[in-house]
Amino acid sequence: MVDLRAKPYYLSDEDIAWVEKTIAGMTDEEKVGQLFFDNQGAVSDEVLKGLVDRYHIGGYRYNGIKSDRVQHNVRVLQTASAIPLFIACNTESGGNGTGTDGTYLGTGIKVAATNNAQYAYDLGHMSNEEGAAMGNNMAFAPVCDIHYNWENTEIVQRAFGNDVRRVTDMSLAYMKGVHDIPGYASVAKHFPGNGQDCRDAHMSTNINMFGREQWMATYGKVYKALIDAGVDGIMGGHIMLPNYMREIKPGITDDEMLPATLCPEILTGLLRDELGFNGVVISDATHMVGMTNRMRHADMIPAAINAGCDMYLFFNDPDEDYGIMLDSYRTGKISEARMTEALTRILGLKAHMGLHKKVKEEIVPTAETLAATLGRQEYKDTAAAIARDAITLVKYKDKGVLPITPEKYPRIMLVNIKGSENSMSMLTKFAFGGGDAKSPAELLAERLRARGFEAFVYESPVDKAQRLAAEGKQVGFLDIYHAGKAAIKDFTASQDLVITVFNVANGRPNFGTSKGGGEIPWYVHDMPTIGVSVNAPTMLVDAPTLRTYINAYDSRPYTLDALVDKLMTGPEAFTGIDPIDSFCGFWDTHL
């Protein structure tokens, strides 16, 4: 039974009457359509109108196109829809999570490194003020996962770290920032909690190994705090809870284990019955392998609704998925009671947001409102302040290395270290930065030269070989293999300081050579060396020899400006904390 007078709805009798009357007047096709969220990217007005006219969708999510196009498309959708739509966005790190020209403020880990929950509030509020100006009304955030495993790359930059209290406080602050925007909803993710498995649920199974007691003391504490504070929605993750399931369902076999999005014991038993969540449950993207690898597609769609998902995130194929859902409802695989429950929650939240009382043409703000909101100076100032307060001096063994000055280190060699590319690393760079035409090492070198240093970027033997080959010159294997070898005295005579810049968006660094050269910092006892990560914060595990290591979290201009200021001021200038274990649990990374 859905209580529309309780949190997070707080509906009046009039609002409840609208919900009930609307459900009573809906066709089967309209009921089924409300269960779907979709995301088509940059498509024509005709395609958007078709989604509403043919499939009667309940929600749409935007990211990856410019803000004026987002606003236009939302206006098309809302004007065409009989029932107002949820328009969601991934504003995890800024307004750029809905429009590509939105303001990036900082990833979850960067905000956590400031140890200042006010910035989490700012992230929630400012990001979604931009989102609201584009026509969005729902944030798929905060990311309230807990990063326990250094090898987990899926949420390491997106979550607020590994401390339960900090994750709770910052998740609450983010949500408060969202809720201070009238008519805007917050959907926390990814229940029951990511951060333990080294695998990515987009491409594999994902597991949370905590049993009931440990889960309740960690992830459960975070979600309970959000539920008590009135979180509107929770996104179900494609994450299994095998030890929890063995406790509550003795005798369950491994083959019977299911991710939360397909498991009634997790979404209904744990989330609703035990934690008392009364709001809307939305599945994570349903094309992810963490969900699709458990059963036939035709069985998966009704199973997600019956497990407790009120909304199904994204069509794989609109005709097929809509047809499966409609057939499942008409044949009783999805019962009338379950359909009514889901619709009551969906429409109840839309009523709570005031969507049912708005004139269609007024749901989306004007172009003038967008122009006045996008990229406000206060947003840019906050982004710079977050960068200033977040940059973290994780390891500092050679106490005399900092500060750096042109007199002390006239010649600085910068080494650009990249990671191996895959689809998720490219998406991460697109979302969080790092896709500049110039490498972060080159951008940092420019800033150092402006401050009086002679700074240059190292050309690796592999890069040199590729350049020579492109010029039509022959390069042999041994030429590359031995190219980095040289007398130590010659190497140290060529520069006074080395800064190794890690630009690894997802996974592990890709060192080009293992014999000499400048890429692997083997020379730390012969040459002052500083390691800086401008992306993933776990680089010490592959470069444990570094005696000075800094996490800057991204390579935005204001971040690099702040980094140079701190390098030239000294260790006391670094005020950021380490929100995870950047030593990655290895004793030798402390050496």
Tokens at 102, concatenated: 């939105």
Per the omega criterion (within 30 degrees of 0), is the bond before 403 cis? yes
Distance CA 2, CA 575 (A): 47
Which candidate in 15, 284, 310, 578 is catalytic? 284
Q: Could you tell me which residues are beta bridge partners of residue 26? A: none
Distance CA 436, CA 145 (A): 29
Distance CA 464, CA 130 (A): 44
Is 412 exposed, middle or buried, given 0-12, 13-18 or 19+ CB atoms closer than 10 A?
buried
Tokens at 128, concatenated: 């979604």
Q: Could you tell me which residues are beta bridge partners of residue 38? A: 60
Dihedral (CA of 284, 287, 292, 297) sign: positive
Q: Where are the alpha helices (DSSP H) in 451-546?
A: 461-470, 477-483, 488-493
* CB 184 within 8 Å of CB 138: yes
* CB 75 within 8 Å of CB 49: no
Tokens at 267, concatenated: 């979404």
Q: Which residue has the tokens 């274990």?
A: 581
What b-and-e string marks burial along 7-21, b requiring 16 or more CB atoms within 10 Å of the CB? bbbebeeebbebbbe
Angle formed at CA 325 by CA 322 and CA 329, multiple of 5 degrees? 140
Q: Which residue has the tokens 């500083």?
A: 530
Cα dihedral value 216, 222, 225, 226, nearest 10:
-130
User: Residue 411: in which H helix or E strand, if any?
Assistant: strand 411-418
End-to-end CA distance of the chain, in Å? 58
Residue 284 falls in the annotated catalytic set? yes
Mind telling me the catalytic residues?
A: 284
